[in-house]
Amino acid sequence: MKKSMLCMALAMSVLFPVFSQDHSTDPSKYYLVVADVVDSQSLLPAPPDTLSAHYAYDREQYEWGKSVRGTDRGRRAVTDANLGDGWLDRDFSEAFGIVLTEENAPQIYKLINNMKEDAGDLSTRSAKNHYMRPRPFMVFNEPSATPDDEPALRKNGSYPSGHTAIGWATALVLAEINPARKAEIIQRGYDFGQSRVICGAHFQSDVDAGRIVGSAVVAALHADKGFQKQLAKAKKEFKKKAGK
């Protein structure tokens, strides 16, 4: 019995790895555990049926995304796809109004990077693993705007979008820190999600669902004492830099 359970656990670890995204951070930096977040499989409806009007809209948005890939907006979408070193500065500094690097804003930087996979992994994992929805570039057998990412993206589900959940959760928290720039920050968070449609990495319904679970995880984070403590430090740091 123990042997069969061990074999099952090993098999599950291959099929459903601890991290559902290729942009995972050190798990010791998470604020939350799975039990702290809303179960995305229970929260979200199933992805749209291919015969539904909702799926027709997914296809329409996919075509829109392809149509803007050669523009400045399309090039920004490719930049948004990179959640490696410097992502917070590249993606949110302009909207936030100050440079968001570890050197310039260490407390804000720590806050956001430590919640990154609470949003991108924990909030999306259940639904991703359950539905394992193929991504648009796979469904339509066409190249995405980020071909180097395709091998990793093929290995995890498209629904909901983890990139979107990260961007939306980040925008909500940054807007709380700097409410004077909330319009610019929230717009940037919204556009960050739409970039996934442009790249062909996600359907529009994946992105819409990513915003829902991103909002839910921010609510869970606000109930966590570790997050509360770091958020207070981030707010204090911003006020000092803003001369308030």
Given 23, 133, 163, 211, which residue is catalytic?
A: 163
Given 23, 188, 196, 211, which residue is catalytic?
A: 196
Report how far residue 9's alpha carbon sits from residue 140's, in angstroms, rounded to the nearest whole number: 34
Given 133, 202, 211, 224, which residue is catalytic?
A: 202
Nearest to residue 109, comparing CAs of 81, 90, 124, 125? Answer: 90
The tokens for 83 are: 């959640």
Whether 202 sits among the annotated catalytic residues: the reply is: yes
Whether 222 sits among the annotated catalytic residues: the reply is: no
**Measuring CA to CA, how many Å separate 145 from each of 76, 134, 137, 149, 175?**
11, 16, 9, 9, 29
Report how far residue 139's alpha carbon sits from residue 154's, in angstroms, rounded to the nearest whole number: 11
Whether 23 sits among the annotated catalytic residues: the reply is: no
Judge whether 24 and 121 are in contact, CB under 8 Å: yes
Given 149, 206, 208, 224, which residue is catalytic?
A: 206
Catalytically annotated residues: 163, 196, 202, 206
